[in-house]
Each structure stands twice: as C-alpha cells, then as structure tokens.
Amino acid sequence: MINRDVVIIGGGSTGLSIGYFLSRLGVKDITILEKSYVGSGSTGRCGTGIRAQFGDEPTIRLMKRSEQLWNELGNELSFNFRQTGYLYLHYSEEELRQYKEMKELQNSLGVPTKLLSPEEAKDRCELIDISNVKGASFNPEDGKAHPFDVVTGFKEYFQKDELELQERTPVTGIQLKNDGKLKIINTPEESYKTEILVNAAGGWAPKIGDLMGIEIPVEPYKHQAIITEPFEEGSIEPVVISMKHENAYLTQTERGGIIGGIGTREDETSTYDMRETLEFEERISRAFGTMIPSLKYARILKHWAGYYAMSPDGNPLLGEYKVPGHYLAAGFSGHGYMMAPSVGEALAEVVSGGKTDLPLDYYDPERIDRGELREAALQMG
Amino acid sequence: MRIDDHPILSFPETDTVTFTYEGKEIAAKKGETIAAALHNEGIIELRRSGDKQRPRGLFCAIGKCSSCLMKVDGVPNVRTCITMASEGMRVEKQNGFPELPREVNDLKPGSIDTAEPDLLVVGGGPAGLKSGLVAAEAGADVIIVDENPFLGGQLIKQTHKFFGSSEQEAGIRGVDIGEELVERVERHKNIKSMTSTSSVGIYEDTVGVYKNMSHFQKINPRKTIIATGATEDMITFPNNDLPGIYGAGGVQTLMNVYGVKPGEKVVMVGAGNVGLIVSYQLLQAGVDVEAIVEIAPRIGGYFVHAAKLRRFGVPILTGHRVLEVEGKERVEKVKVAETNGSGGIVQGSVVDYEVDILALAVGLSPSYKLLGHAGCELQFQPQLGGYVPTRNERMETTVGGLYVAGDAAGIEEATSALLEGTIAGADVGLKIGEGGKAEEDLINDSQEKLSRLRAGPFYRDLRESLKEVGV
C-alpha cells in the first residue's frame, strides 16, 4: 500500500495538467493512474483546436487563461502551440449578428476577436469558397497544438521531476473509509491510500464513480474525426469553422494532414461504441468539399472515433463531488483538451487548499443535483 | 527500354497513347501504366519525398507502397504504378508534400451507388478469383474488386513453371494459370469484376469502394472474402530509398507484365525462392545479374532454382549483406560485405558492385489492414509473414461472414492460395444455401491437398503457426 497526498485517475490532457500544476505548487507526493497509455483516450483523438471564441463569460475567461498557459506550457514542455487563429465562416445575416454580439463580449474580456469580410477571410485561407460567405469571425490568439507532443511533454516533465505516472494501470476498485475521507484505490499490481482523489477519466469518469457507488452525470457520445494525406505546409493555417455545414471544423496539422470533424447527429445516443461509420465519411466529405472545394481531392488517410463526454448542460464539472476529497474534472463536452491548462491550474490550486481566480463556482458539479443548469457552451464538431 | 526478345513472353504491338510529363511528350503503349511508360523512357525518379526532398521511384509496382505518387491532371498523390496512361494526360513530378489543387474542375459529389451481392471478393489474385469462381459455380452472385488495372494478381507475372507436391498445377506456368482463371471469371454470368477499384474500409455491414474521385460505391454483401495478398518488405541500409531500388515483385511487374527492361545490371538481395526465380527472370529479360546477396548462411530457396543460376555463372553470396547504396539521384553502386556471424562484417571483405538496380526479395507481409478494420482478431505470426487473422478451417475469421484466403491469410504460395480460395468460396456457396455435396467434396479435397502441400520437415514451423491461427 502506497500513501499519497493526491491520486489522479486519467492520463489524458486534464489529468496530466492537474498533476503538472500540483507539482509546480510543490505537491509532489502524487500518482497518476492511466489504464492504457497517456493520451490514449479522448486527448489523442481530438481535433487539436484551442479557442477562446465562446458565447458565455465563464468559458471565455477560462479559455483566455488557458491560451496564456498553452503558450507558457509550449515553451516549458517543448511543443508548439501554433496561434493560427480560429476562423468562423458565417453564411447568413442572422449568423453575422449573433457572432457580432459574441465578439463584443469576447473583446470586453480581453479576447481580440475581429469581424472579417469574406475577402479578408480568404486572405487567411485562400482555398475557402467564399461565394456564399457573408463574413467571418477571427481571433488570432486561438490555435492548435499536437496532442501527442503535448502528452509527451508532460510525461518527460514527470520523469524529470520524479513524479509517479503509471501507464497500463487500470483502477480495479475503490474502497471508501472514514465516511469517504480515506480512499483506497486498487490496481492489479499496487494499492494506493489517499485523502484526495481526482477523477479525470474523461468519458470513463462514470465508471470510476461506479467503483465508489456514486453516480456521475457524464455520458460519452461517439464523436468521429478524420485526417487526410499530408499536403504542403500552410495549405490551411487557421482552424476553419462552419456551423452551417454540420458544425464542421478543420485545420492542417504540423505533419501536413488536414484534420477535422463534424457534429454528431441529433438522434445519436450515449454509447461506449467507438466504431467509425461510412455514413460519417459521406457527411464529412460533403461538408468539407463545399467549404473548401480543393478538399474533394484529398483522400482520407485515417478515420477514428472518440468521446465527447457530455455533462447535462454541456459545461464542465469541476470541483468536489458527493464524497469528501473526491474532485471531478470531467464532463468537458468536447472542450477538455483546450481547457486542460487552466483547469489543471485551477484544480491544483483548489486541491492544495489555495484559491483560484477562475469561476469554479460556475462549474461546481453539485449544480446538476441542485437543478441549476447553465447555458451550454458554444459547441461545434 | 522495351524488351523485344524474350524466351517465354511476347509483347505484341499495341496502339500508342501520348501524355505529357513535365510538358514533354511521352509515348505509351495502350494498356500500360504511367510508371511503366516513364520507365521505358528512362525516367525513374518520380517524386521527391515530403520531409527531406529525397528522390523516390517505383518500389512495389502494385499499388501497395506510396513510392510512385505523382500529380496527374492536377490531382496529387496518384499511384502511377496502377494508373493507366491515357491520351492527353498531364503528369507532373511531386516535389515534397503536394499542394492542394487550386483549380478544381467539375468534380461534384456524385451519387453513391449501392450493390447487394451474395459475395464480395476483395482482391483479384489467385485466391480471390478462385473463391469467386467456386462460389459463383454454386449459384452465388459475386462481385470481385481489385485496385490494379488487371485481374490475375501476381500470377500474371509468374513466367516459371509451378512444381511441388500439388498434382493440380504442377508443370504449368503461373501466367497460364492466371490467364485461364481470369478468362473463366470474365465469362461467368454470376460474376461482376471491377478493376482499378480500391476498397477503403469495412464498416458494420458495408464495404466502401471507389473507382475514381467521383465514383464511390457502397457494397452490402452477405459474405465477404478478403484476398488482398501481400506487401513486399524493405530492409534498412543507407540510401535504401533511392530510385533503382525495387521490390523483386516490382521488377517482375515491369519486365513481365509491361515488357519494360528495368535496367542493365542488378544485385539481388535474398536467395529464397522469390530472389532466385526473379534473378533468373532478369537474365531472361537481358539484365546482367551481378550477384545474389543472402545474409543467411545458406540458400533458402529450392536447389533447382539455385543450380540453374549457377549454370549461368551468377554468384550466390551467402553470409553476405548490403552495407549501403551509393548514388546521387539513383542507384550507382552497391556495397556488399561478408558478415562475421556476430553482427559485424569481415574486415577487407567489402566489394563494390556498379549496378543500376538493387532488387529486394527479403520477404512479404500479409495485407491485413481491411481485416483489422473489420474488427477481426489478428495475431502476429512471423512464420506467416506478420499479422494474420485467426480463422477456422474453412477460412472464416472471428467476424462472422468474413473470410480470408491466400497471402493475406499468411505468406505461402500460389497453389495454397488457390486451395484456400476454393475452400472459402465453397463454404460461402454452402452458407448462402446454394451449394451442396459438390461443395462439401471440394472443401474436403482442398483441405487434403493443402495438408499434403504443407507436409514434410521444410514446413514444420509453418504448420505450427497455422495451428495457432486456427487451421
């Protein structure tokens, strides 16, 4: 039995970031448990995008801070946070009006979003078909980072700092003692005793809840993505968004492929199934080919599925939940990767008994049980 | 350069089509691929690699690797080894990662056809064709797809006579077996074959195939047989990506299918049957075989093949390996040395061969990717060439209704591919309720022949591996 100050379950971007910021605060007696390898869940399957263009104040603030931290982490952990901007294409006056309002809110919180004419949008990415585009929103501070470089950066930091990160180590049981204040976490090889348990298991967070006998209001929804064969660097610099074309997002990775996805259908239900579908390839081909006609010639190299781990109101669940010393960092509803730095910083501060400037009350998981649902954060893909 | 005098094959005159390469007019024979036509003109550097801008040429010649990608009529990354040259085509070299095409001609998201055959066979080589024929004979309606421009798989380039313990095809040349199979398939009213058609994935009940950029088809078969064959292996040494380094099968395709002489002088790596047989075929095509280099202490192939080469004075250097290849834009020199048995080389044993081709016959790996995509259980079995699916003795995988046959099930030879194809096709015939005693007999008979083929101490390891995958 190993005693720890903190045990984190989940070696994705969220769990790794919490561990990293704990260590920066001097809390080094920690263990991260990952059932497969780092980034093997939703992190490595994500669309790589990072943006502060949201429609509500708490999320904009969270993401504004996150983008600052993405920059710092990039330098510290040797990966590229490429601030190529997010380019939202608008195809109607209605959409323009709605995004103008959002832009003003974003500007008031220090996010430098601009409205662009169709021609200015084309300057950002000349392959876009602007014949039906009425305008665009663009925040130059948004961008993208390669998930595998990110998790590798964290992992190397943990190795250097001699923090315990256990990959291929599933949690097989959790016993609660002293009214839950003490938790004994079992894995096939070893058991851990801790007062503070952080559940950062993404789509699998409810399964960790099951082991403690509590219900966690997170449901995994299958979300698919593709990457094409590699093309010349600079083909599609920004992350290009079209809500009109099935909430599509796409951009070029550092390796040259065009990565992206589209929204889940409204009739889809929660599932742990991860099989990709041909129907998705048809829909994404039409959406991408209409936005950027050149992409009709791009072959899909890989196609995979991951989860959007949905909370009931589409906002994260951050904070202590149901069992004393059990912290949730889950239910990101498709935004976990981009939020990981600021969530990691805030959770580390709270867990270690400090304070955070970020609006964690807004994300208090108990809100769900109190019936105080928030307005859903702006979602695409 | 064209081969005009060949002891076995004849390459009849055909119509000519003219296309442009970097603005220069190139004359191709009708029915010839872009890569073959360019080789005939001595153009062997087809592109520059993405990251380091290194020259790259043809390697596998059957659409399995990505060495020959070029820009054709503005579309990047076209596999020129399986794309026919046609009149007026515009072919350009790719330098690094290609740009996305700026001018988009009239490519509309086309309508998507669907088909619902009793059986879909992916791969038109010996295993696929045979399985399709047997199932069609039992009454199944069959679609066979293959991404090459011809049916017949690797049989269409096997100019040697088959032998071994199988009474069935012994003494017949692969090309002749292939020709007869293709003819029977093309004549059969229950079989529709689609060449130049790639299968991109197996999704739940649907297999997606595309014929070209604007024609996509969804096939919902009752049963599927995967007979996708194998990919040639590569080994590591400095400059192993230079144009002029080919898979032995790639060389065979150039000379035996298209009648194009791959070069003047060759070093062959590998003295297994493939290395020995292709070396002999190179001699027949008028290419000097300077040496056969084999890292193992003894020759892996049959004695008769080796003896034939020795009669022509070709040295077979066992216990030797390629150190590196030198050349600016293409192969110019191959450095070979004797191994000392503990990872190093014998001092003073380095020999330079000034050749323009290095052919690699260093093994094959089953093309298992569609099987993996479909969710079949795969096992790594080095004796069978790599990842292969678990299956029962009638070649059905762990995914119900999905069969495997031929090299995709494990690297063996054409004869076993034909027999496995027969078994899978006959079982499909039975399962769709059309077959009967004839099919049961075929299965029993083929299983017997397979065990005879795999008998003897030479195949002991193979038999052990096959047992593990379920046969």
pLDDT of residue B108: 63
Q: Which SS3 state, helix, strand or coil, does residue A13 take? A: helix
Beta-ladder partners of A219: A310
Does residue B286 sit at the A interface (CB-CB below 8 Å)?
no
| A276 residue type, one letter | E
Residues of chain A with CATH 3.50.50.60: 2-45+148-218+313-370
Count the neighbouring beta carbons within 10 Å of the beta carbon of residue A157: 20
Q: What are phi and psi of B106, to 5 degrees?
A: -75, 70
Q: What is the largest CA-CA distance in chain A?
A: 66
CB contact under 8 A, B213 and A289: no
In this structure, what DSSP letter does residue B414 have? H
Please tell me the distance from the alpha carbon of residue B402 to that of residue B395, in angstroms, as a whole number: 9
Q: Binning pLDDT at 50, 70 and 90, where does residue B109 land?
A: low
Among A222, A245, A278, A304, the strongest candidate for a mutation testing the B interface, having the largest count of B CBs within 10 A, is A278
| Residue in B closest to A298 by C-alpha | B100
Q: Is the pLDDT of residue A4 over 80?
A: yes
Helices A147-160 & A13-24, crossing angle to 10 degrees?
Answer: 30
Q: Does any CB of chain A come closer than 8 Å to the CB of residue B139?
A: no
CA distance A207 to A201: 9
For chain B, how many residues are written?
471
Average pLDDT over residues A193-201: 98
Q: What is the pTM of this model?
A: 0.92
Q: Where are the domains of chain B?
A: 16-95, 113-231+369-469, 245-364
Q: How far apart are CA B55 and CA B48, in angstroms?
A: 5
- For residue range B64-95, list pLDDT tens digits in order: 999 999 999 999 999 999 999 999 999 999 99
The fold adopted by the segment(s) B16-95 is Ubiquitin-like (UB roll) (3.10.20)
SS3 category, A116? strand
Q: Count how many pairs of residues, chain A against chain B, have C-beta atoms within 8 Å.
A: 63
Average pLDDT, chain A: 96
Q: Which DSSP helix (H) or strand (E) runs through B122?
A: strand B119-122
Q: Could you tell me the CA-to-CA distances from B420 to A250, B337, B399, B471 in Å, in that order? A: 44, 41, 18, 11
Q: Cα dist. B310→A68, B306, B314, B322, B356 in Å?
A: 71, 6, 5, 21, 22
In angstroms, the CA B334 to CA B323 distance is: 8
B76 touches chain A (CB under 8 A): yes
Mean pLDDT, chain B, rounded, equals 93
Contact with chain A for residue B312, Cβ under 8 A: no
Q: Do A286 and B200 touch (CB under 8 A)?
A: no
* pLDDT at residue number A267: 86
Express each pLDDT in A82-108 by its tens digit.
Answer: 999 999 999 999 999 999 999 999 999
Phi, psi (degrees; rounded to nearest 5) at A271 = -160, 155
**Nearest residue to B135 (alpha-carbon basis) of B419, B398, B437, B430:** B430
CATH of domain A85-140+220-310: 3.30.9.10
Q: Are A187 and A173 in contact (CB under 8 A)?
A: no
Q: What does the pLDDT average to over A222-238?
A: 96
Residue B38 in this model has a pLDDT that exceeds 60: yes
pLDDT of residue B106: 60
Q: Residue B37's pLDDT is what?
A: 97
Q: Which residues of B395-404 are buried (b: 16+ CB within 10 A; e: fewer)?
A: bbbbbebbbb
Confidence of residue B165 (pLDDT cuts 50, 70, 90): very low
- Kindly report, residue by residue over A243-296, the tens digit of the pLDDT: 999 999 999 999 999 999 998 888 889 999 999 999 999 999 999 999 999 998
Q: Is A377 left (phi over 0), alpha (psi -120 to 50) or beta?
A: beta
What local confidence, expressed as pLDDT, does residue B160 receive? Answer: 81
Contact A271/B at CB under 8 A: no
Q: Calculate ∠ Cα B14-B72-B328, nearest 5°.
A: 95
Residue A228 pLDDT grade (very low, low, confident, very high; cuts 50, 70, 90): very high
- Of A141-155, A261-275, A277-291, B154-168, the range with the lowest mean pLDDT is B154-168
- Inter-chain touch A285–B101, beta carbons under 8 Å: no
- Of the candidates A232, A278, A293, which has its C-beta nearest B208's C-beta? A278
CA distance A287 to chain B (A): 10
Which pLDDT does position B51 carry in this prediction? 86
pLDDT, position B335: 98
* A296: chain B residues, CB-CB within 8 Å: 104, 107, 109, 213
Helix (H, G, I), strand (E, B) or coil at A279: helix
Give dist(CA B45, CA B244) in Å, integer.
Answer: 9
Beta strands of B244-285 (E only): which ranges? 245-247, 265-269
Q: What percent of chain B has pLDDT over 90?
A: 83
Q: Is the pLDDT of residue B107 over 80?
A: no
Instruction: Sort B304 into a burial class: Cβ within 10 Å, 0-12 / 13-18 / 19+.
Output: exposed
Residue B142 CB neighbours (<10 A):
28
Which architecture, in CATH terms, is B113-231+369-469?
A: 3-Layer(bba) Sandwich (3.50)
pLDDT in tens, B270-321: 999 999 999 999 999 999 999 999 999 999 998 999 999 999 999 999 999 9
* B244: Cα separation from own chain's centroid: 18
A43: DSSP letter: G
- Nearest by Cα to B145 from B68, B79, B83, B207: B207
What CA–CA distances, in Å, run from B362 to A72, B266, B318, B351?
48, 15, 14, 20
Do B16-95 and B245-364 show the same overall fold?
Answer: no
Q: Tally the C-alpha atoms within 13 A of residue B276's C-alpha that lie toward its C-beta.
A: 21
**pLDDT 10s digits, B234-274:** 999 999 999 999 999 999 999 999 999 999 999 999 999 99
Pick the CATH number of A2-45+148-218+313-370 from 3.50.50.60, 3.40.630.30, 3.20.20.150, 1.25.40.340: 3.50.50.60
CA A236 – CA B57 distance, rounded (Å): 29
All residues of chain B having their beta carbon less than 8 Å from the beta carbon of residue A278 are 201, 203-204, 206, 208, 218
Of the candidates B242, B229, B31, the residue with the CA atom closest to the CA atom of residue B121: B229
Instruction: Determine the Cα–Cα distance for residues B241 and A110; give it in Å rounded to an integer.
Output: 52
Give tens-digit pLDDT for B17-32: 999 999 999 999 999 9
Count the residues in chain A: 381
Chain B residue with CA closest to A233: the answer is B97
CA–CA min distance A285, chain B (Å) = 8
What is the dihedral sign for C-alpha B456, B462, B463, B464? positive
* Chain B: residue whose CA lies nearest to A127: B102
Instruction: Give the C-alpha separation, A364 to A324, whole Å.
Output: 14
Q: Answer whether A231 sits within 8 Å of B203, measured CB to CB.
A: no
Q: Which residue has the tokens 């990047």?
A: B76
> Where do you find CATH 3.30.9.10 in chain A?
85-140+220-310
Q: Which residue do the tokens 């009931």 mark? A: A312
**Which secondary structure element, helix H or strand E, spans residue A206, and what is its range?**
helix A205-212
Q: Would you give the distance in Å from CA B74 to the centre of its chain?
A: 28
Q: What was the ipTM of the complex prediction?
A: 0.89
**What letter would DSSP give residue B256?**
I
CATH 3.50.50.60 is right for the domain spanning B245-364: yes
Mean pLDDT check: name the lowest of A14-18, A115-119, A125-129, A271-275: A271-275
